[in-house]
A and B are shown apart, each in its own frame.
Chain A
């Protein structure tokens, strides 16, 4: 069945450094790739997403890249801040309305002041 792998499972960086989280997916029909952030004790929230017709998308300090040929996509956070500390989930879906979304296992990011 469909599967999304995510690495690393934990990541610790110094404040101001960059953080990169990588994901691979198995369903070649996937064309929508969201990233969710879950702070401790809170619900997951969408922070950025990308569709298969673009290779990169940026929103302030956050960027996502997509390589459809290799079936992998990555989240890049620059100039990390303590409030970036959270669990990040990548996901993949076929993008059709109401299609199921397959989530990766998550990356716990700690930003050390």
Chain B
């Protein structure tokens, strides 16, 4: 069940601390995405990247930052500016070509107290 991995599975932080969530893929996909999942609200796009060294804000980018220094990696930093950071975070990647299927990682559940 490899391909796209996220670590750790569970993460606990104190309010006011920045925290970085890892996302790695070995599928040779150019595009990568970060979503936040809250009960009853589906998957909301935080940031996405179409190519190395380039990324775009999604619908709820405030309080988050990303980098894309390598094709395989797309880490997400949840900053202290994010007012309600406790959530389930999903990373995804997409293959080039005719298929637009997104491949999701297993997710990281972040709890901030």
Contact = CB atoms under 8 A, between A and B. Distances in A.
B30 A43 contact: no
B104 interface: yes
A36 B44 CA distance: 14
Given A43-B107, A97-B96, A100-B45, A49 B101 contact: yes
Given A97-B96, A98-B30, A34 B45 contact: no
Interface in B84-108: 90, 94, 96-97, 100-102, 104-107
Interface of A: 1, 6, 9, 32, 34, 36, 42-46, 49, 89, 93, 95, 97-106
A1 B105 contact: no
A97 B102 CA distance: 11
B100 A97 contact: yes
Contacts of B59: 1
Contacts of A36: 102
Contact of A34 (B31, B42, B48, B101): B101
Interface residues of B, number: 26
Nearest to A2: B59
A98 B31 contact: yes
Given A99-B100, A103-B44, A106-B42, 13 more contacts: A34-B100, A43-B90, A43-B104, A44-B43, A44-B104, A89-B43, A97-B94, A97-B100, A98-B48, A100-B48, A101-B45, A103-B43, A105-B41
Contacts of A98: 30-31, 48, 50, 94, 96
A100 B58 CA distance: 8
B2 interface: no
